[in-house]
Chains A and B, each alone.
Chain A
Amino acid sequence: MNYLDFERPIAELEEKIREMRLLAESTGSDLTAEIDRLERRVQELRERTYRNLTRWQRVQLARHPDRPYTLDYIHLMTTGFVELHGDRCFADDPAIVGGLAKFNGRTVLVVGHQKGRDVKSRQYRRFGMPNPEGYRKALRLMKLAAKFNKPIISFLDTPGAYPGLEAEERGQAEAIARNLLEMSRLPVPIVVCVIGEGGSGGALGIGVGDRILMQENAWYSVISPESCSAILWRSWDYKEQAAEALKLTAQDLFELGIVDRIVAEPLGGAHRNPQEAARLLAEAIEEALTELLPKDPETLIRERREKYSRMGAWIETYL
């Protein structure tokens, strides 16, 4: 288990409990009472810590190396997944995965950013940062879903679109823009789940939908706290303040009217119990689909357009 800096006290207690168990086993002495007491203490500490997370701490949880990624959720909540590859123009981008699968008995199109777990796969997946062909593959698959009238489930988890030379040559901006336009009028339900990092346009590029669900420790913002710190504070040292200022948590986005539902995670984060995290997320997706599936395409598209029409904050003054 990987621990974050602010989890240190919890890690220490957990370690102590482990040691006492070993001690009890090897010496045969009865330490049950002592272990119970420590168990209660660590549980209290966990609750106190995880109920009062700062925004920056949530960003750390969203980036936790053990956090479940798109393919983990696909395997945990669907069956018969067939991955489809390539944008039919240039290449297959491993930073975005997608395909058809069964979700609670019906066929759905799943698509999402994909990060790697070890050094090699992280590089292969470009840390979940797509190139234009990734967005174009996603759009190809979503149009396939529209053609065969299958609902779409999209998983967002990227630090951002890949800021590379070739990405620019192949039209990163155009690829994202095209997806925003086309997703706004796909005639099938789209349920978007922010499961980790919602890194700006790179996340939104597969994130326009009818229902936006967001796990409680995910973040979603126009810029990462680090880059925001670098630009506005002209230093990399203000990421905590930047995270606070950006109001990037699920709770913040729910209050801003951007996220429709906050999806709970197991105490300590989704990585503590991926099965449970997947169950909670699947439950929320199912509820969203149940609401959306009876709607005819015209209603779906009209309501989706109205949803995005309302977003933002401004005042109207006639002086």
Chain B
Amino acid sequence: MTWYKRTESGIQTSIRRDVPAGLWIKCEGCAEIFHRTQWRERAYTCPHCGYHQQIGSEEYFELLFDEDSGEEFNGHLRPVDRLGFVDRKPYTQRLLEAQRETGLMEAVRTAVGLIHGRAAIVACMDFAFIGGSMGSVVGEKIARAIDRARQEGLPLIIISQSGGARMMESALSLMQMAKTSAKLAELAEARVPYFSVLTHPTTGGVTASYAMLGDVNIAEPGALIGFAGPRVIKQTIGSELPKGFQRAEFLLEHGFVDMVVHRTQLKATLAHLIDLFLG
């Protein structure tokens, strides 16, 4: 059975076409292929089916802030393994791997910048970092972003994408729900507007705290938003879930988000809302 094997190793293909990696994009929704620049122009949504590709804080900051106006703060907050948590891997190792793979320090970044000329605080989560899970650092950075919005009277925008509270910090993660919600009560008392943007997916402890508490809740089309995950609910009820269950449009229908906004319209919508609230 050796007739199909190479007899020599290390044979190199002599001509390599110089195609930059990832120039063409295949839509995860409809499998259409289109050019990267076209994709970026459409805020990483599919020009054919409208599928919203998951993007991170880097892309959202670029999308929302006027050119070069965004400035990150509290980037010096780092996670620690207070519990000495070990499952199949130690938490410290998971953190290091996540940091190496994503180039991020944690699952949220906070920044101040201009949106159509008006200053705002934007906190944006990164799903790529341990499933966008909320541990102490996420809670603390969100809390400080809320504090800053309140102190400077700047509108607050939180872009959520998260599997929920982070297991590896156990009750410390859980308490971040209470911490951030308590901070939002203070923000509300100062009458500073808070716009919550819920993107795919937003579930668990993040939905059950700051993500649901916006003065205006905005969801991206098709985003999965809920408390319990679909698999758990399927187990509970013992049957298939209805089509569109827990999707952005379902939440709009049931009265838990104010609007479903296409990502290409997100900046304009937020700018308009800021103008209506503060103008």
Interface residues of A, Cβ cutoff 8 Å to B: 161-165, 167-174, 176-178, 180-182, 184-185, 200-201, 204-205, 207-208, 220-223, 228, 231-233, 238, 241-242, 245-248, 252-253, 256, 258, 304-305, 308-309, 311-319
In this complex, the member of A181, A241, A245, A317 whose beta carbon has the largest number of chain B beta carbons within 10 angstroms is A181
Cβ of A221 and Cβ of B171 under 8 Å apart?
yes
Contact B82 A241 (CB under 8 A): no
The secondary structure that dominates the B interface is helix
What are the residues of chain B within 8 A of A316 when measuring CB–CB?
76-78
Cβ–Cβ contact B182 & A176, under 8 A: no
Given A201-B204, A245-B86, A313-B82, are A163 and B172 neighbors across the interface (CB < 8 Å)?
Answer: no
With A304-B182, A313-B80, A315-B78 as known contacts, state yes or no: A222 contacts B205, CB within 8 Å: yes
A184 touches B88 (CB 8 A): no
Check: B83 CB closer than 8 A to any chain A CB. Answer: yes
Distance between A305 CB and nearest chain B CB, rounded to angstroms? 5
Alpha-carbon gap, A238 to B181, bound state (A): 33
- Collect the chain B residues with CB atoms within 8 Å of residue A247's CB: 83, 170-171
8 A-B pairs (CB sep. < 8 Å): A171-B256, A180-B177, A180-B208, A181-B181, A181-B185, A221-B171, A242-B87, A312-B135
- Evaluate contact between B172 and A173: CB separation under 8 angstroms: no
B167 interface residue per 8 A CB criterion: yes
Closest 6 CB pairs of A and B: A312-B136, A163-B228, A184-B182, A180-B181, A313-B82, A173-B207
B250 closest partner in A (C-beta): A169
The reply to whether B209 and A180 contact each other, CB–CB distance below 8 Å, is yes
- Residues of B contacting A253 with CB < 8 Å? 171
Given the known interface contacts A305-B186, A314-B137, the answer about A173 and B80 at a Cβ–Cβ threshold of 8 Å is no
- Complex: A319 Cα to B233 Cα, angstroms: 45
CB pair A245 B85 closer than 8 Å: yes
Cross-chain contact A314 with B254 (CB below 8 angstroms): no
Cβ of B165 and Cβ of A222 under 8 Å apart? yes
Q: Is the CB of A313 within 8 A of B169?
A: yes
Inter-subunit contact A184/B185 (CB<8 Å): yes
Q: Measured between C-beta atoms, what is the minimum distance from A247 to chain B in Å?
A: 5
Q: Give B134-166 as 1s and 0s: 1 = Cβ < 8 Å from A's Cβ atoms.
A: 011101100100000000000000000000011
Docked Cα-Cα span, A55 to B194, in Å, equals 41
Given A165, A170, A232, A311, which contacts B237 in the complex, CB threshold below 8 Å? A165
With A168-B246, A256-B82, A311-B176 as known contacts, state yes or no: A177 contacts B207, CB within 8 Å: yes
Known interface pairs A176-B227, A201-B208, A245-B85; A314-B171 also in contact (CB < 8 Å): no
